[in-house]
Structure 1
Amino acid sequence: MIRARPPAETAPLFQLLAENATDMLVRLDLDGTRTYVSPACRAIFGYEPEQLTGRSTFAFVHPDDVEMVRDRMRAVIAGEGDRRGLNRVLRADGRVAWVEASLRLVRDPQTGAARELVSVVRDVTDQKLNEARIEQLAATDYLTGLPNRRAFLAGVETLLSRSGRCALLFIDLDHFKPVNDLHGHGVGDAVLIEVALRLQQEVPGGAMVSRLGGDEFAVLLPDGLAAEAVAQQILDALAAPVMAGDVVAEIGASIGISRSPDQGRDVGSLLRTADIAMYHAKRAGAGRFLFFAEEMEDELREKAVFKVRLRSAIESGEIVPFYQPLVDLRSRRLVGMEVLARWRHPERGILPPSDFIAHAEHGGLIGPLFQGLLRQACRDAMRWPDGLKIAVNLAPRQLQDASIAGCVLDVLSETGFSPLRLELEVTETGIVRDLGTAKKVLAMLRAAGIRIALDDFGTGYASLRMVKELAVDRLKIDRSFVVALASAPESGRYVSAIIGLARALGLATTAEGIEDTASAKRIGAMGCDLGQGYYFGRPSPAAALTEWMEQAERGEPMLPEG
């Protein structure tokens, strides 16, 4: 039988624990005056214990958080149970720190009356700073520094809730793809950065400029009255050639305009009608702007026809896997392939996924497209060395379908492909649409031995909480950070921060968009595990993989040593 220690024996034990704990232990009177402070206060507050003892706890709480802390204390004293919460405190050096503080009421053992409060205080400043950095990444396009799609849509929703009046300009560059294809992503990114600068110079105060993705930009005008004038100014500004190193790029733009409330009372309707207007402006000869008109709804019928053609392509096997190598940046050896969809169109040749994946997802065809692609990739990979894995993308909508895990496992069973050789890549957008369903789907996949990678990390919604809850295995660093390493010093810090975060959480990392030796070496030196990009190889059909497979079997490096 264990004998409880009497108070005289427990006091020295409490003192020993309190003075050696990394968290700060505090005893307070019911009015908030500190009667005891443990030595851990030196690390958290920068004060000696005697400087805090006898002082009110509210004197060291950030002014904006005093009422919150006071309410927390009142609730505990009123007998509503223990409380735990975050708040800011003021350090001796003038800096603000974030702490997580628990608060418990101690009652007199004889009378049961409230006697004092006990608090355990933990410094969580580093965690809050990391979350703030991730939140900043989630709202900003780090190639151009503009608000990203997520931030733009939130801005439109906020404006509509306040006034209901605005104009949305949907901007698509006219001749960007040839520049990107002929001169590479480095030149293409330089063009996008210059476009962003020109847009910011042309819009009036109070307007919001965003990069929605790729070469698509948007402008939100609060009152909508100057839409025509602003659109013409933007066209004139983007008509001027862009210097990107030795390349002179003439790009131009097409703009579609929609107004609220005439063309939509919600952000989805406004974006859709502006997009349709932009499409018609581009088809009318580009380099112009058009306001949305009802007759433009013919676009929807064209999409319906496209959906029928795409369904036929999926059923007939025209959608095929191409493969891009994944390379271990330490050993410089091939470890796997990312599976990328291509459409072998009988009239238009090889089409990239940007031409049809969105149509498949919106048209309810992404399921059969994915299963066909995965099935063929598994069959191809069965002929490769056993050590090589494949990485396949799950579309955002698939994470909302609880049956997708069963579909994946059925394909693996049918082909005999080991789940241990499969990695599924998911995007933050797909996860946040329905976090609960996404968690269940990913848990079932991981239980089968399939690894999960969070794709495009740092460009969307991901937070530390989401990464922890989903228990992913890998973070994929978005190519926009990698390609900007040479021109934007802050990109190096972001990449380093993501790799550091992954290492702290026990996750692997992959860097996308590696296109030269310098980037490969720098990313590898930062501690990133895997790399992919044009430097290692362009996406290719299975028939063209012979050289890669032979290198892998011989154990030869994918890039030069040194």
Structure 2
Amino acid sequence: MSEGADPSGQRNTQDFVGLGIIIASVLLFVANGSSVLHDFLQALATGSRPQEPMLGTALILNIALLLFGWRRYVDLTREVDQRREAEETAHKLAHTDPLTGCLNRRSIGPALQDMIQTARTTGHEVVAMMMDLDNFKRSNDVHGHQAGDAVLLHTAERIRAILPERSIMARLGGDEFAFAAIYDPDHAEAIDRLMIRLNASIARPVDVDGMSLEVTASIGLATTTPGDQAILAETLLHRADLAMYQAKKAGRNRYCWFEQNMESELRFRSELERGIREGIPRGEFVPYYEKQIDLDTGELAGFEMLARWKSPKHGLLSPELFIPIAEEIGLISELSENLIRQALRDAREWDPRLTLSVNISPLQLRDPWFAQKLLKLLVEANFPPHRLDIEITETCLHENIGVVRTLITSLKNQGIRISLDDFGTGYSSLAQLRTLPFDQIKIDRFFVSNLGKNKDSATIIEAISSLGRGMDLPITAEGIETPEVLDELRKFGSFKGQGFLYGQPADADAVRALLADREMLPSAPEVEAADETPRSATA
């Protein structure tokens, strides 16, 4: 076939040739078949020579042409069927998800638009729903992709079983689904009942190869309204997606309706994401330092590093606003390493007796190279490891105790101190405290700040204090904000403490000025001499 030839045109030509052969054969057979066949059979019976030998040969040729035409017809029929099946398969692959059989991201938009138009003609409305399985990626990583596929299949089946007739459903990718239904606006409460059933059904355990896997779902809803006649499917799905994000933000395993203010919140979040990406290389994220005080002597014992963002547009921002976003967009490691690098340079100039405490994100602990990265930062800053205190939250123990144990052992072997932060929030156990070589525990600020107001807080702090004495673990109390809280805390033993009672967190320049006033900024030779002894002791 020459380049640019049309295969379909060639096939059509061949079809016409085959059809012409069959028609000509039939006409020949009808025209002289009976007489020639009688002469041919009589010659065979008597052994004589046929009266019309040429017509006999033509008859045989005619029969051969009929057989050829019939075979060609069968081949063409088979080819047409195969072509139809291939087209149907290609259409299915292009418009459906191969795992669940749902529609896919490409086809949900047109299907939803058709549904909206159909609903308008009958006076009904359409509700679109976006759903994401909570913590599915973590479960998929732990149990394997086969178990994850089984969860997705069971989830799709449960959704189908609950959705009303004429609903549409799509898997957009990963663990994200979209579905839509037509409903009567006079009975909108039926949608809420549907969502309650849906959340409950998805939350039921899924049995896979003897394992019981539990997942939940966050669902966002958006609906057409009688006054909005020109709404597009893309707009409806976008609104449902915003509502789903709010459902996750509100605690997961729930559903949330779209509200107009969600648009501005999304724009603000997108602005923050862009600002974080651009601000890290610009050095906009800086360490601030909160004092840590020995409550028995009142002396300064060290500082805890706290992250701050000096945003050119929004001013000084606290970590509660940007740390979760940095974790979600995968920049927390880069952000944290930059802050630790700056903090080590700052703390290098302090009195060698002062320690530096640094909080580590749970996501960083999943990095198998985290310990090596931290040691590299220590070497770059020429900072003695024994002055660094890494704080790990109890949440990290709940996620992966094996990885945490390996990391703690690796860091302690280098002389770094390890603290268990936010102790008392309910994740760790006595067994974990015995098996993990922590150097210190820190009481969660909620219990400390409520001393004198909440009897349970006093009971918990007393129990933690007794535990610390029994296991010979020093304790730091966070959240000391008033003299009354300090007086109550001293009743339970000896602590290090930190909180707003001792001043607000300050930047590096303010800390340096403070230490200079207290004569706690030794000269460079003194710092090097003080650091050499611990360094050789840990070698």
TM-score after normalising by structure 2: 0.51
Aligned partner of 2:218 in structure 1 is: 270
**Inter-partner Cα distance in structure 1 for 2:423 and 2:398:** 13
How far apart, CA to CA, are the structure 2 residues paired with 1:413 and 1:365?
23
1:429 aligns with 2:377: no
Matched residue type, 2:351:
P
Within the candidate set 330, 342, 354, 1:376 is matched to: 342
Moved more, 268-277 or 325-334: 268-277
Does 2:444 match 1:507?
no
- Kindly report the root-mean-square deviation, in angstroms, between the aligned alpha carbons of the 2 structures: 4.0
Name 1:261's counterpart in structure 2.
Answer: 198
Q: CA deviation at 1:436?
A: 0.8
Q: Which amino acid aligns with 2:218?
A: L
Which protein is bigger by CA-based radius of gyration?
2
Matched, 1:470 2:436: yes
Q: How does 1:299-338 map to 2 (within 5 A)?
A: 306-338=272-304
Q: Summarize the Cα distance change of 1:358–1:536 in structure 2 as closer, same or farther, 3 Å threshold.
A: same
Secondary structure of the equivalent of 2:451? coil
Deviation at 1:402, TM superposition (A): 1.6
Q: Quick one: which amino acid aligns to residue 270 of structure 1?
A: S
Gaps of 5+ in 1: 1-149, 151-159, 166-223, 230-256, 282-288, 556-562
Q: Aligned residue for 1:411?
A: 377
| Aligned residues of 1:420 and 1:450 also touching (Cα < 8 A) | yes
1:328-361 C-alpha deviation (Å, 9 max, x unpaired):
0111111100000001100000010011101111
Number of the residue aligned with 1:544: 510
Give the Cα–Cα distance (whole angstroms) in 1 for the partners of residues 501 and 191 of structure 2. Answer: 43
8 Å contact from structure 1 (residues 454, 472) kept in 2: yes
Partner of 2:451: 485
For 2:263 and 2:197, the matched residues in 1 are separated by: 17
Partners of 1:258 and 1:292 within 8 A in 2: no
Confirm or deny: 8 A CA contact 1:325 1:536 kept in the other structure: yes
TM-superposed deviation, 1:529: 2.0
Distance 1:275 1:506, change over 3 A: farther
1:431 shift after superposition:
2.3
Q: Give the 3-state SS of the residue equivalent to 2:218 in structure 1.
A: helix
User: How far apart, in 2, do the equivalents of 1:391 and 1:330 lie?
Assistant: 20
Specify the code of the residue in structure 2 equivalent to 1:370: S
Question: Quick one: structure 1 residues 540 and 334, their matched pair in 2 at CA, closer, same or farther if it must change by over 3 Å?
Answer: same
SS across alignment from 1:356 = helix
Q: Describe how 1:160-179 pairs up with structure 2 within 5 A.
A: none
Whole-Å separation in 1 of the counterparts to 2:424 and 2:397: 14
> Deviations along 1:126-148, whole A, 9 cap, x unmatched?
xxxxxxxxxxxxxxxxxxxxxxx
Question: 1:172-203: CA deviations, max 9, x gaps?
Answer: xxxxxxxxxxxxxxxxxxxxxxxxxxxxxxxx
CA–CA distance in 1 between the matches of 2:197 and 2:376? 47
Cross-structure match for 1:520: 486
Deviation at 1:313, TM superposition (A): 1.1
Instruction: Please name the residue that 1:346 is paired with.
Output: 312
What secondary structure sits across from 2:503 in the alignment?
A: coil
Bigger fraction of residues in strand: 1
1:497-525 CA distance string (max 9 Å, x none): 00110111111100010011122232133
3-state SS of 1:436 partner: helix
Following superposition of structure 1 onto structure 2, how do residues 115-126 of structure 1 map, counting pairs within 5 Å? none
Cα contact 2:272–2:322 (8 A) shared by 1: no
Letter paired with 1:265: I
What is the SS of the residue equivalent to 2:426? coil
Change (3 A) 1:300 1:502: same
Pairing 1:436-475 to 2, within 5 Å after superposition: 436-475=402-441
SS in 1 for 2:288: strand
Check conservation: 2:292, 2:302, Cα contact below 8 A.
yes
Letter of the aligned partner of 2:376 in structure 1? D
Kindly provide the CA deviation profile for residues 247-288 of structure 1, in whole angstroms up to 9, marking residues without a partner as x: xxxxxxxxxx9755279935553288899539879xxxxxxx
Q: 1:360 aligns with which of 311, 326, 348?
A: 326
Are residues 276 and 406 of structure 1, via their aligned partners in 2, closer, same or farther at CA, if it must alter by over 3 Å?
same
Which runs of 5 or more residues in structure 2 are unaligned? 1-134, 136-153, 160-187, 204-214, 222-239, 248-254, 522-539
The one-letter amino acid paired with 2:340 is L
Deviation, structure 1 residue 305: 6.0
* Structure with more helix by fraction: 2
What secondary structure does 1:472 align onto?
A: coil
> What secondary structure, in the 3-state scheme, does the structure 2 residue paired with 1:390 have?
strand
Q: Is the 8 A contact 1:334 1:548 kept in 2?
A: no
- 1:548 positional shift: 3.4
Q: Secondary structure at the match of 1:506?
A: coil
